[in-house]
Amino acid sequence: MNHVYFTALPNGAGLAAELAAGDGAPRVYAVEPTGAFEDDPNVTDKKFPGNPTRSYRSSAPLRVLGEITAWTRQTPEALQAWKDRLTALRETERGEIIN
């Protein structure tokens, strides 16, 4: 990937962390962009016009300011439902990531 992705919403970051963690512990960090960033085209206007998810990407590094521990965890059932949706998306053109 040519970008690092981040969101301004702790619960959105928590969901992404849970999906990416596999068997590890999901972790969420407060970050600060060190360069220019833009709305994430994989989410903004493609799925959620106007960027209500506050999802962004940058080709510059992010500075980690600290860990966020207060975010809403998914139930095991909700997390599995998300994983199932992502698996289904990968099988279609809708799962393509704009890099």
Residue 60: pLDDT band (50, 70, 90) is: very high
- Amino acid letter, residue 95: G
For residue 66, tell me if it sits in a domain.
yes
Helix, strand or coil for residue 88?
helix
> Does residue 70 contact residue 10 with C-beta atoms inside 8 Å?
yes
Does 9 fall in a domain?
A: yes
3-state secondary structure of 58: strand
Residue 98 domain flag: no
Is the pTM higher than 0.85?
no
Q: Which of 7-11, 35-39, 78-82, 86-90 has the highest mean pLDDT?
A: 35-39
Of the chain, the end-to-end C-alpha distance in Å amounts to 6
Angle of the 10-20 helix axis to the 76-90 helix axis, nearest 10: 70
Helix (H, G, I), strand (E, B) or coil at 68: strand
Domain holding 72, by residue range, is 4-93
Which CATH number characterizes residue 50's domain?
A: 3.20.170.40
